[in-house]
């Protein structure tokens, strides 16, 4: 059950997904369809897993979903770096910065969740 309280990671990942959709549409316009698909699949799943974690069945389930989101953030970072380094590819530095911020927040969530479980 979703509540309406502000949640920074839910909001950040949702906004990131919207921006990522726009960027992958630009990639597709440049004929970079395969990379666009990989990037969108990885990037959109970050927010989906974070959202899913909000309704986890317990702390273990929550941590599992957040860890998956963190792995998807790392994969998204990879594809954004590919776009940045590959010749004739559009790139978007702000998306790379945002996914790095999301990764840091997810890492903190994982770290604090593990600490809370150990207590």
Quote the number of domains for the chain.
1
* 35: number of Cβ within 10 Å: 18
pLDDT per position as a tens digit, 68-87: 999 999 999 999 999 999 99
* In a domain? residue 70: yes
Q: What is the CATH number of the domain that holds 46?
A: 1.20.1440.60
Q: Is residue 106 part of a domain?
A: yes
Residue 119 lies in a domain: no
The answer to the question of residue 64 being in a domain is: yes
- Show the domain range for 52: 8-114
Does residue 39 sit within a domain?
A: yes
Q: Which residues contact 70 (CB under 8 A, 6 or more apart)?
A: 103, 106, 107, 110
d(CA 105, CA 90): 27
CB 117 within 8 A of CB 63: yes
With respect to residue 1, please indicate whether it lies within any of the assigned structural domains.
Answer: no
For the stretch 27-68, pLDDT in tens is 999 999 999 999 999 999 999 999 999 999 999 999 999 999
Q: Which of these ranges, 18-22, 34-38, 88-92, has the smallest mean pLDDT?
A: 88-92
Alpha helices in 2-92 (DSSP H): 8-29, 33-53, 59-85
Full-model pTM: 0.90
8 Å CB contact between 7 and 51: no
Quick check: is 2 in a domain? no
């Amino acid at each position: 059950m979703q509540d309406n309280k502000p949640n920074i990671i839910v909001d950040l990942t949702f906004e990131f997904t919207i921006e990522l959709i726009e960027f992958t549409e630009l990639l597709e316009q440049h004929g970079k369809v395969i990379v666009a698909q990989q990037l969108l699949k990885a990037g959109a799943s970050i927010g989906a897993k974070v959202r899913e974690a909000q309704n986890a069945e317990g702390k273990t389930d929550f941590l599992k979903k957040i860890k998956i989101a963190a792995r998807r953030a790392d994969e998204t970072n990879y594809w954004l770096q590919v776009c940045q380094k590959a010749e004739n590819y559009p790139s978007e530095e702000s998306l790379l910065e945002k996914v790095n911020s999301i990764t840091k927040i997810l890492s903190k969530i994982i770290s604090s969740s593990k600490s809370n479980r150990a207590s």
